[in-house]
Amino acid sequence: MRLVRRRVSALLLWAALFTSRGLFAQGSLPPGDTVAAADQLKVALRPVDLRYAQPQPILGPAPASIKALYVNAWAFGSSKLWQLVRLADETEINAFVVDVKDDTGCMLYPSAVPIAQEIGANACARAKDARARLDTLVAHGIYPIARFVVAKDPLLAERKPGWSVQHRDGGLWRDRIGMAWVDAYNDSVWIYAAQLAREAVKLGFQEVQFDYVRFPDEPRERLETAIFPARRPGQSQRDAVRAHITLLRDRLRPLGAPVTFDIFGLTASATGDLGIGQVWEDFIAVADVVLPMVYPSHYYRGAYGFAHPNAEPYRIVRSALREALDRSRPRGSAAEIRPYLQAFTLGRRLPRYTPFEIREQIRAAEELGITSWVLWNPRSVYQRDSLRPKRRPGGPAPLSSGGD
Whether residue 348 is contained in a domain is answered as: yes
146 domain residue, yes or no:
yes
Closest to 105 in 3D by CA, of 95, 90, 120: 120
What is the predicted pLDDT for the residue at 349? 60
CATH code: domain of residue 277: 3.20.20.80
Range of the domain at 91: 2-24+32-386
5 bridge partner residues: none
Contacts of residue 11, defined as CB under 8 A and 6 or more positions apart, other chains included, come to: 60, 61
Bridge partners, residue 375, by sequence: 69, 341
Q: How many angstroms separate the CA atoms of 101 and 116, rounded?
A: 10
- Crossing angle, helix 130-139 and helix 80-90, to 10 degrees? 10
What CA–CA distance (Å, rounded) separates 212 from 201? 20
pLDDT at 292: 98
Letter for the amino acid at 53?
A
pTM of the full predicted structure? 0.86
Q: Is the CB of residue 215 less than 8 Å from the CB of residue 183?
A: no
Q: Are 210 and 196 in contact (CB under 8 A)?
A: no
Longest dimension (CA), the chain: 68
Strands 226-227 and 67-71, how do they pair? unpaired
Count: domains in the chain? 1
Can you give the pLDDT at residue 392?
A: 67
**392 is a domain residue:** no
Successive 10-residue mean pLDDT values, the chain, 404 residues: 41 40 37 37 43 66 96 97 98 98 98 98 95 95 98 98 98 97 98 98 97 97 97 98 98 97 96 96 97 96 94 97 95 88 84 96 98 98 97 54 36
Residue 380 within a domain: yes
Residues paired with residue 248 on neighbouring β-strands, in sequence order: none
Q: Do the domain assignments include residue 401? A: no
* Whole-number Å distance between alpha carbons of 15 and 19: 6
Question: Is 397 inside a domain boundary?
Answer: no
CB 33 within 8 A of CB 86: yes
**363 lies in a domain?**
yes
Instruction: Label each residue of 202-225 as H, E or C.
Output: HHCCCEEEEECCCCCCCCHHHHCC
In sequence order, the β-bridge partners of residue 260 are 209, 289
pLDDT of residue 356: 98
Note the pLDDT of residue 334. Answer: 79
From the number of C-beta atoms within 10 Å of its C-beta (0-12, 13-18, 19+), residue 388 rates as middle
**165 within some domain:** yes
Cβ 209 vs Cβ 149: under 8 Å: no
Amino acid of residue 323: E
**Residue 96 and residue 137 in contact, taking contact as beta carbons nearer than 8 Å:** yes
d(CA 302, CA 246): 35
Closest CA to 291 of 361, 338, 341, 342: 338
